[in-house]
Amino acid sequence: MTAEFYLSTVERLFKNREVAKNEFVVAGKHVDIGAITQVAVKTVEGSEDDISAPGQCIAALRLLTGLPEEKKASHLEPGAGHYGIFAGKSWRLNIRPLVLNFIDANSGAPVAAKKAPVQLAVAK
């Protein structure tokens, strides 16, 4: 990511609080977080994150005012820092399976039916 993009993100999201104030604009269009009504959202935070302190993502879930509570989820990974929630042992063993299960549970795809064992007729 470029330095310009990073600095713009810090300025807009953390200093100006554009998402928190529902003033976020992308490509000239207002992004209304409260208008999200169907897409399930799961946040993941690290208990030792020194960049994005725990609680910020959970607070963001409250901005999803149009989304039913059953479509919202969060996870706080014990001992994980900022990078640890995206890579490494915590990601591989704990977070990735939770995220994949959440996606599966909210994908809307039908659960595959178990097929009955095939029985062959044997001629006598």
pTM, two decimals, is 0.73
Task: Decide if 85 contacts 50 (C-beta within 8 A).
Answer: no
Where the chain has pLDDT below 50, the residues are: 113-114, 116, 118-121, 124
- Helix extents (H) in the chain: 3-9, 56-61, 89-90, 96-105
Per DSSP (E only), the strands in 47-92 are 72-77
pLDDT of residue 110: 55
pLDDT in tens, 34-55: 999 999 999 999 999 988 889 8
Q: What is the pLDDT of residue 59?
A: 87
